[in-house]
Chain A
């Protein structure tokens, strides 16, 4: 049950695209199409942005997209906006009905 690995921080200017990586192992990210991504603003509950690697919940902007290759999943945000600033967490099924989160990435919009 080791946490998935995310970069501590990423930044970008308005209008640019950024990508956040999430690296796990063959026991979690690499074995299941069950990676999700959450956005969290200070003092607020996490919000689901991507599920099952690539799917967006209703109401989430199509500027958010997900992908996966091997043991690494990625979240891409295109057309960066000030409101995208916050913390982002990946999460994966890890077998035996358990789940594991990444350590989180702080996104700064310059």
Chain B
């Protein structure tokens, strides 16, 4: 059974940093691209970042470029999101999602974690 479990969320002040983690199990982690998707309170879903299977390619939504960094450790079956220079508008539930890649591009998100809440506030 595919499982994705996020952790690392919490309350952080504007301008601060936070690192989210996602522990994957139930599938061959090294064979799949992964993503982070976020959802602000009462709002819709927003794709944040993609990383391919071997971390050689990374892509970001414009609003987080230069502030967020996606990474993975295939030896630990783990996905990460380093978030720096956090702003109030980054407040959201952050979901880890597996990407079904349809060469040469991402197709859809087929499995999701339960999410971790990040609150940016003073």
For residue A35, give the distance in angstroms from its CB to the closest CB of chain B.
9
- The residue on B at minimum CB distance from A100 is B47
Tell me the bound Cα distance from A51 to B108 in angstroms.
7
Point out the residues of chain A lying under 8 angstroms from B105, CB to CB: 32, 34, 93, 97
Count contacts on B: residues with CB < 8 A to the other chain: 24
B residues within 8 A CB of A1? 61-62
Q: Categorize the interface residue count of chain A.
A: 20 to 34
In the bound assembly, the distance between CA atoms of A96 and B57 in angstroms comes to: 11
B residues sitting closer than 8 Å to A (CB atoms) are 35, 37, 44-47, 50, 57, 59, 61-62, 95, 100, 102, 105-110, 112-115
20 A-B residue pairs with CB within 8 Å: A1-B62, A34-B106, A34-B108, A36-B107, A36-B108, A44-B114, A45-B95, A48-B108, A48-B109, A51-B100, A51-B110, A52-B107, A89-B45, A91-B47, A91-B109, A96-B59, A97-B57, A99-B35, A101-B46, A104-B45
